[in-house]
Amino acid sequence: GGNPHWWRGGVIYQVYPRSYQDSSGDGVGDLPGIITRLDHIASLGVDAIWLAPFFKSPMADMGYDVSDYCDVDPMFGSLSDFDRLIERAHELGLKIIIDQVLSHTSDKHAWFKESRSSRDNPKADWYVWADSKPDGTAPNNWLSVFGGPAWEWDSTRKQYYMHNFLASQPDLNFHNAEMEEALLKTVRFWLERGVDGFRLDTVNFFFHDAKLTDNPPLPKDADGDEFMGADAPDTNPYGFQDHLHDKSQPENVGFLKRLRSLLNEYDDRATVGEVGDGRRSLHTVAAYTNGGDKLNMCYTFDLLGPEFSAGHFRRAVSNFQKLVKDGWVCWAFSNHDVTRHVSRWMQPGDDQDHLARFSITLLASLRGSICLYQGEELGLEEADIAFEDLTDPYGIRFWPAFKGRDGCRTPMVWTRQAANGGFSDGARSWLPVPESHYHRAVDQQVHVTGSVLNHYRATLGFRKAHAMLVDGPMSFLDPDGEVLAFVRGEGTERLLFVFNFSREPAEWAVPPALAALEPAHMPGFGPSFDGTRVSLMGLDVFCARIGR
Ligand code: TEU
């Protein structure tokens, strides 16, 4: 018997298969390569791995354009490689979560080929087709996240089809029950293969407004729950645009319930949805996770943006607590879509390793599950990629205003002295390994006390050893200020955390109610405590057990 709640408060490690380990020498990572690196992942003390897409795909959006949901792209290996990966991961006590890109397919998917062939084929309604306006223009003003209109003209059907992302990623029509059935069958395929759960891509984009209503211009600063995007220009690195296709349709909830029933036929499976829209994102998380009959948890982009301040974290986390009742959130600071967090948050004069240690200590103290992105355990910074080397269509389109997402997708660095940092022994890796990453390779850190890598292990170990960090309540002690102080846990099991976000030293007075503090040693941090006051350096952390 397993633990049905393994996901709740768990630590998920995201692997980007293209960039983890190449075993074939073609310069692209693959599943057999990942298998050889599972020991590294297990040594971090994480609970699960999220594998970004490895399905058959023309790779127009690096695998987020799937042409066959039930097969592995030959670039990444085979289904039997996948079976071996799951088996080995399970032996090591690691769960495997795979990425399901259900909102859209590739235009090379057999379903779309059929759908676009005529207006009356059996799959004619599986995608979102619409006639032009009488003047020949697109059906409405919806825009694609990746720029331009959300509509593409098809000369065979003489109709437009909708796409929230690239034109080569046509949107599936969730209003079609047969399509939904077919999609759920592909999900079952992976459940049968033994996956422990799913990361659901763009989960708030599944249904579209069937009336195809024009979007009004987005109001600026509409409500206090917006952390990002409120001052968005027409296009920004996070993809928010005026007239963005209206998402979070109410019908989504019904689909998520059907998906949950499917998962409930199997033991201990879980879902984490990606809510990729900053506007009202926490309301969406609440709608999708409260009640225990839809998604297990969601992640948002609230902590994946440029803001790094006590106020921002206090607001984001306490808004979540207000809205998300019995639902659950999964916090992340980095992923394959955003600038790596040390680069996002670094200020002149900051020590990169120290910022990396501060960040994971913060992340590991939060209520919710947490998600790490490969390479952050080495303190890797965003790579600067030359325009000639770009592969991300989103970056190629908006360069130089937005340089795209290649900078966080460069290969893992394993061995300082090896070609391509040990990622590939081929002549050339698909993205270059940045010169500045070599000295952070795993082999350079693994035996060094206090390295970022060992700090990650220690911090995740600390989280695991303190049950209240995994699932206990969280309460903030100050309404504002650059020091973020909170208590985790209740009764006799309580921990106090004090984070100084400022680069200047700070003093924090312990509230009289918190008696008998017993400081916990936090390696890498050096606050002093005289019984009533905590003196912190810039970017310092204090942690203490609270006595009775
Ligand atoms: O991302 C959805 C999403 O919201 C992103 O467009 C995000 O806003 C942007 O990447 C921030 O820079 C998912 C995947 O994570 C992403 O890699 C895919 O490109 C996208 O869906 C389309 O499938």
pLDDT tens string 350-389: 999 999 999 999 999 999 999 999 999 999 999 999 999 9
> Domain with 355 in it: what CATH number?
3.20.20.80
Whether residue 64 is contained in a domain is answered as yes
450 and 534 both lie in a single domain: no
Range of the domain at 494: 473-546
Do both 522 and 387 map to the same domain? no
Residue 229, pLDDT above cutoff 50:
no
Residues 250, 390 within the same domain: yes
Q: Tell me what the mean pLDDT of segment 134-145 comes to.
A: 92
Please check whether residue 4 lies inside any domain of the structure. Answer: no
- Sequence-distant (6+) residues with CB within 8 A of 149 are 138, 141, 142, 143
Same domain as 330, residue 430: yes
| Least confident residue range of 142-146, 438-442, 495-499 | 142-146
**19 occurs within a structural domain:** yes
Q: Which residue bears the tokens 């695998």?
A: 63
Kindly tell me if the per-residue pLDDT of 279 is higher than 80. Answer: no
What does the block give as tokens for 115?
């759908």
- Let me know if residue 133 belongs to a domain: yes
Could you report the predicted ipTM of this complex, rounded to two decimals?
0.96
Task: Count other C-beta atoms under 10 Å from residue 288's C-beta.
Answer: 25
Residue 222 has a pLDDT of 45
Helices (H), ranges, 265-387: 281-289, 310-323, 341-345, 352-363
pLDDT in tens, 516-540: 899 998 889 999 999 999 999 999 9
Q: Do residue 144 and residue 26 come from a single domain?
A: no
Ligand 1 pocket member 228 (CB < 6 A) = no
- Which of 436, 464, 492 represents a domain boundary (last residue)? 464
Mean pLDDT lowest among 225-234, 280-289, 354-363:
225-234
CA-103 nearest atom, ligand 1: 23
Pocket test for ligand 1, best of 51, 145, 402 (most atoms within 8 A of CB): 145
Average pLDDT of 99-106? 98
CATH number, position 116? 3.90.400.10
Identify the pLDDT of residue 486: 98
The yes-or-no verdict on residue 87 having pLDDT over 50 is yes
| pLDDT over 70, % of the chain | 93
Q: Is residue 2 part of a domain?
A: no
Domain holding 499: CATH number? 2.60.40.1180
In this structure, are 320 and 434 located in the same domain? yes
Which residues fall within 8 angstroms of residue 262, CB to CB, at 6 or more apart? 184, 187, 188, 191
Task: Report the number of distinct structural domains present in the chain.
Answer: 3
249 and 259 assigned to the same domain: yes
**Residue 27 and residue 167 in one domain:** no
Is it the case that residue 191 has pLDDT exceeding 90?
yes
Which of 464, 483, 505 marks a domain boundary? 464
Q: Active site includes 201?
A: yes
Boundary (domain end) residue, out of 171, 190, 225: 171
99 lines ligand 1 (CB under 6 A): no
Q: What is the pLDDT of residue 230?
A: 33
- pTM here? 0.95
pLDDT value of position 122:
98
Cα 218 to ligand 1 centre (Å): 20
Kindly indicate the confidence band of residue 246, based on its pLDDT and cuts at 50, 70 and 90.
low
Q: Indicate if 166 and 281 belong to the same structural domain.
A: no
Same domain, 50 and 130: no
Average pLDDT of every residue of the chain: 93
In a domain, 309, yes or no: yes
Beta bridge partners of 546: 517
Q: Which of 201, 227, 298 to mutate to test the pocket of ligand 1 (most atoms within 8 A of CB)?
A: 201
